[in-house]
Amino acid sequence: MVRLERLDDSRWLIPRSGDMRTEGLVFADDRLMDQLRHDKALEQVANVACLPGIVGRSLAMPDIHWGYGFPIGGVAAFDVEDGVISPGGVGYDINCGVRLLRSDLHEADVRGRLNPLMDQLFRALPSGVGSRRTDFALAPADLKGVLADGASWVVARGYGWPEDLDAIESRGRLAGADPGSLSERAKKRGRNQLGTLGSGNHFAEVQVVDEVYDERTAEAFGLAEGNIAFMIHCGSRGLGYQVCDDSLETMLDAAAKYRIKLPDRQLCCAPIPSPEGRRYVGAMNAAANFAFGNRQMLAHKAREVFARVFGESAAANMHTVYDVCHNIAKFEEHSFEGERRTVCVHRKGATRAFPAGHRELPPRYRSTGQPVLVPGDMGRYSFVAVATAAGFDEALGSSCHGAGRMMSRTQSRKRMRGRDIKREFRERGIEIRSDRARTVAEEVPEAYKDVEDVVRVVASAGIGRPVARLRPIGVVKG
Amino acid sequence: MSGRSTPEDRTGRRAARERAVERGPAGSLRELDHTGDVGFEMEADSLGGLFRLAAEGLVGTLGLPSASGRAPDAAETMELRRADLERLLVAWLRELLVRAQVNRETPRIGRLAVAPEEEGFALRASVSWTAGEGPTREVKAVTYHGLRVERSGEGWSGCVILDV
């Protein structure tokens, strides 16, 4: 049982004990903490604190839940010389993330054509298990291009606009990608999955800007109350899963080779400067670039659908608000006890949140701070927040990434048995498109924490500031 | 992973040697209630039985269509070697998972033996594959989190968590 000390209304400390090299810090209020006590997520925060070279605290965002290795919602920084890199701190779905497009369409413009819109989106954005595109597959040289150059490769081939790149974290390309380090199996899995959503909690949603909390920032983000937005949540698909799988085998051997004591095998890791560590960084960045390219392609395909249904001029205003990673390890500069250091920040189920003035932000967001996209569940709402300076200092420039599950998939299916969920949603004004009743039953709002609770803690802890709430009216699920 | 074996490894190998000849899929399979992912616990009277049950658990989680009554499209003998039983279990399930997802095939496990070797453990299984529509549920990976393969009384028990 992990010992907890309540620091204030939104912070809990896990004091050092056993093999922990540092403290844990969990952002949660009493209500979220009550939901956490029943699983192993807090233990996982403590496990991360045991890894060599950790700098600062082992952090958990308010949407923390039980994962494998790192908790989902876990953030930790490691010294670039003495620290480690762990595929378990990134996750299987490397650069799983969220993209948000805005539009000038109003809910009233869309309501009357919601069914044809959703039907066409469902066809244009392949979803479901092992979903693949039938209209094109990447030749080996093309795949290498995506792995090396990410979204910019996709845009250069006419799938999207050059301005999209300004609104993607790291401009949609992580430098240092090494496509040659990927296994043939990983490449095979990615060949026809560029531009696919996948399954599980991945989705594409037509949303309405339901409420604006910060007019000035919302305006800077291009969001106005009553307007339509489009959100995409997906990652690097089978290619990323395979990169992680392949790396874990190597890292298990590396952990033994470098005598790293592991509290959980899924935390297997290697020193960042080691050959194994460098190889993983190259492979991870390549998979991350594939994910950036994937969301770029999906955004382009969605715009094509909006153009067909509402006309070219409607689609021409669907600018990218932002595109964020929430499963990644990145090299960043942060301050620790007054000293600037370059560290490798692992974010597993956590969003990078850089504040106003940060040099990595595009000019359009340099005075506001970075948009933080927080998808909720398919029945209630999602949020757009903005990064804060306080969050940069205390949370390693990180914020929450979603609602976080609170019910297992099995429980959820049992609870939903006998219910016609699609019909229930239709009566509430939400059209769902999915081939799998099981996925829909597992993804119902009841299975998730209320993302509003999560965002409230983000705001009270000062690691983000809510800007707008988005309400779904159409959902594509895998 | 170092090649040095622990006392547990040696005990496991000795026990496995005694049970290298399979006696069928007797045992139990129980789904775990994991908040974020899907897991299951297995109990079997032999290591081979345990690995077979784990495969059944994976196939069930994937929601693969039944291949019974249909002639297989391909058959092979799979051979895997790893330094310890837990890594061998993950490697076994990963092979089945990737084939099922990438090629959209349903496996049927024939003879299956897990036996100790000088450098660890080896699995040898005859697997036939039937082409079909593939899984109805995505499983991203077989994780090492909470992974367990251990002696349990006269038999074996284990636990696997899948990232879904």
Is the pLDDT at B5 greater than 90, yes or no? Answer: no
Give the residue from chain B lying closest to A127, CA to CA: B138
Distance CA A373, CA A233 (A): 10
Fill in the amino acid letter for B149: V
By C-alpha distance, which of A303, A429, A452, A441 is closest to A375?
A452
- Decide: helix, strand or coil at residue A376: coil
Report the pLDDT value the prediction gives residue A73, as an integer from 0 to 100: 96
- Decide: helix, strand or coil at residue A318: coil
The minimum CA-CA distance between B137 and chain A, rounded to whole Å, is 6
Average pLDDT over residues A166-175: 98
Contact B35 A65 (CB under 8 A): yes
Report the pLDDT value the prediction gives residue A81, as an integer from 0 to 100: 96
Is the pLDDT at A311 greater than 90, yes or no? Answer: yes
Distance CA B161, CA B142 (A): 6
The mean of the pLDDT values for chain A is 96
Average pLDDT over residues A172-177: 97
Nearest-5° Cα angle at A467, A465 to A469: 120
pLDDT digits (tens, 9 = 90+) for A403-441: 988 888 888 988 999 899 999 999 999 999 998 888 899
Report the pLDDT value the prediction gives residue B25, as an integer from 0 to 100: 54
Phi-psi region of B153 (alpha: psi -120 to 50; beta: other; left: phi over 0): left
pLDDT digits (tens, 9 = 90+) for B138-159: 899 999 988 999 999 999 999 9
- Whether chain B has a CB inside 8 Å of the CB on A347: the answer is no
Percentage of chain B lying above the pLDDT 90 cut: 59
The minimum CA-CA distance between B134 and chain A, rounded to whole Å, is 8
Give the residue from chain B lying closest to A191, CA to CA: B102
Report the pLDDT value the prediction gives residue A137, as an integer from 0 to 100: 82
Contact B35 A439 (CB under 8 A): no
Strands (E), A369-457: 371-374, 382-386, 398-399, 431-433
- Whether chain B has a CB inside 8 Å of the CB on A320: the answer is no
Q: Which residue has the tokens 């999209």?
A: A164
- Whether chain A has a CB inside 8 Å of the CB on B35: the answer is yes
Give Cα separations from A72 to A42, A69, A84, A397, A444 (angstroms): 10, 9, 19, 17, 19
Report the pLDDT value the prediction gives residue B38, as an integer from 0 to 100: 86
Distance CA B71, CA A471 (A): 50
A-chain residues near B97 (CB < 8 A): none
Reported as a pLDDT band with limits 50, 70 and 90, residue B6 is: very low
Average pLDDT over residues A100-114: 97
Estimate to the nearest angstrom the gap between the alpha carbon of A167 and the chain centroid: 15
Which range (A144-148, A191-195, A416-420, B16-20) has the least confidence?
Answer: B16-20
Average pLDDT over residues A39-63: 96
Q: Which 83-122 residues of chain B touch chain A by CB within 8 A?
A: 86-87, 94, 98, 101-102, 104
Is the pLDDT at B66 greater than 80, yes or no? Answer: no
Report the pLDDT value the prediction gives residue A195, as an integer from 0 to 100: 96
By C-alpha distance, which of B6, B52, B3 is closest to B29?
B52
By C-alpha distance, which of A169, A126, A211, A117 is closest to A373?
A169
Tokens of B38: 């899907």
Higher pLDDT: B75 or B14? It is B75
A-chain residues near B144 (CB < 8 A): 68-69, 88, 248, 252, 264-266, 268
Give Cα separations from A232 to A127, A192, A204, A437, A471 (angstroms): 12, 19, 4, 20, 14
Report the pLDDT value the prediction gives residue B138, as an integer from 0 to 100: 87
Is the pLDDT at B3 greater than 50, yes or no? Answer: no
Rg (CA), chain A: 21
Percentage of chain A lying above the pLDDT 90 cut: 90
Nearest-5° Cα angle at A171, A458 to A234: 60
Strand partners, A127: A198
Q: Are A211 and A122 in contact (CB under 8 A)?
A: no
The minimum CA-CA distance between B159 and chain A, rounded to whole Å, is 13
Report the pLDDT value the prediction gives residue A460, as an integer from 0 to 100: 97
Contact A406 B35 (CB under 8 A): yes
Is the pLDDT at B11 greater than 50, yes or no? Answer: no
Interface test with A, best of B59, B101, B143 (most A CBs within 10 A): B143
Q: Is the pTM of this model over 0.95?
A: no
Catalytic residues of A, which ones?
401
- What phi and psi, each to the nearest 5 degrees, are found at residue B6? -85, 165
Model-level ipTM above the cut of 0.85: yes
Average pLDDT over residues A446-473: 96
Reported as a pLDDT band with limits 50, 70 and 90, residue A184 is: very high
Contact B137 A129 (CB under 8 A): yes
Reported as a pLDDT band with limits 50, 70 and 90, residue B24 is: very low
Higher pLDDT: B105 or A408? It is B105
Distance CA A293, CA A153 (A): 7
Contact B87 A72 (CB under 8 A): no
Distance separating the N- and C-terminal Cα atoms of chain A: 37
Estimate to the nearest angstrom the gap between the alpha carbon of A271 and the chain centroid: 25
